[in-house]
Amino acid sequence: MRSLWTGVALLVVISAWYDVGRTQPRTDTVVPPAPARHLVFGNPSHATTNPSDADNFLLAKPQFVLSYHNTHGTPNWVSWHLKKSDIGKVERQDTFRPDPELPRQFKHVLPNDYVGSGFDRGHMCNSKDRTQTEADNSATFVMTNMVPQTPDLNRGPWEKLESYARTLVGSGRELSMIAGCSGARTTLRRANTVQVPESCWKVIAVLPRGGNTVAHVESNTRVIAVEMPNTQGIKKKDWRAFLTTARAIEAKTGYDFFSTVPTEIQDQIETRKDTGRARATRTSTRERRRP
Ligand code: MN
């Protein structure tokens, strides 16, 4: 009798064990908790941390999250949340380096691969958005966060939109940003396996302070979407000349932005082209409505 009960107990323990192992999520599709704030609105290309998924490989860092395209040697997209406390006074670290978190068998783009190419090492998650600590700023200089951008794009309208975004944060907003590039223009002279894109795009959701949750996105949430050509001759252009819709970028890239947001709301915020200007504040709206 005693041995029967021991046997039953053993079976219960084993089956419980088996169940735990079975129901545990596959680790290659789980985003580590620390950078979760950068992916609140979804993983637009279903990137995973499985190294066999080399052209859609998820790298999650405390400062930003990205999907790497190993064949192109560039990110597919980089996503980051921006709030006031991310912006500090740290000096630009200029620590361009291969990404140490990339699996060894992957293509490790070197800072020098860009030298003499005529293209800038264009940050996706930009340096000034990560200036609270030296470590945060330095983290933006890994080569997996870089795309070959023309100097006129990088230092022109692309930079102007980055600055504009920080002014929104300065006036009490939080932002959820995602940036990437698409198309194939050429390759780098020194590293002909690194692809130079035809255009770069960015989608920004403008959120209230403390508003980085799905529940904070409503049909009238401001979404700024741009697509800029990766060409010379555009340095003086305003970023607003390149406004488009998130839906147009989805159609072009095949990604799904805001996938965690209800479809009816996606349909509104992704198809409305932003005006490039902040809308009237709540107070002034109420004043206008007054009879
Ligand atoms: Mn979508």
Give residue 162 CA to ligand 1 midpoint distance, Å.
Answer: 22
Residues in the 5 Å CB sphere of ion ligand 1: 256-258, 266
At 100 the pLDDT is 96
Q: Is the pLDDT of residue 217 over 70?
A: yes
114-160: pLDDT as tens digits: 999 999 999 999 999 999 999 999 999 999 999 999 999 999 999 99
At 112 the pLDDT is 97
Give residue 120 CA to ligand 1 midpoint distance, Å.
Answer: 30
Give residue 2 CA to ligand 1 midpoint distance, Å.
Answer: 60
Write a three-state SS string for 81-129: EECHHHCCCCCCCCCCECCCCCCCCCCCCCHHHHCCCCCEEEECCCHHH
At 139 the pLDDT is 97
Q: Is the pLDDT of residue 99 over 70?
A: yes
- Report the pLDDT averaged over residues 198-213: 97
Catalytic site includes residue 123:
yes
Looking at the chain, the whole-number percentage of residues with pLDDT higher than 90 is 83
28-63: pLDDT as tens digits: 444 444 479 999 999 999 999 999 999 999 999 999
At 14 the pLDDT is 42
- Please, what is the end-to-end C-alpha distance for the chain in angstroms? 87
Provide φ and ψ at 238, rounded to 5°: -75, 145
- Report the pLDDT averaged over residues 193-198: 97
Q: Is the pLDDT of residue 88 over 50?
A: yes
Give residue 268 CA to ligand 1 midpoint distance, Å.
Answer: 10
Which one of 38, 69, 81, 123 is the catalytic residue? 123
Q: Is the pLDDT of residue 93 over 90?
A: yes
Identify the CA nearest to 230 among candidates 127, 177, 152.
152
Distance of CA 265 to the CA centre of its chain: 20
260-281: pLDDT as tens digits: 999 999 999 999 999 999 876 5
At 26 the pLDDT is 39
Pick left, alpha or beta for residue 201 (phi over 0 → left; psi -120 to 50 → alpha; otherwise beta). beta
Question: What whole-number distance in Å separates Cα of residue 166 and Cα of residue 86?
Answer: 10
230-253: pLDDT as tens digits: 999 999 999 999 999 999 999 999
Other beta carbons within 10 Å of 33: 8
Give residue 94 CA to ligand 1 midpoint distance, Å.
Answer: 35
Angle at 250 between CA 142 and CA 265, to 5 degrees: 110
58-83: pLDDT as tens digits: 999 999 999 999 999 999 999 999 99
Whether residue 24 contacts residue 18, with contact meaning beta carbons closer than 8 Å, is answered with: no
179 strand-pairing partners: 78, 202
At 11 the pLDDT is 47
156-189: pLDDT as tens digits: 999 999 999 999 999 999 999 999 999 999 999 9
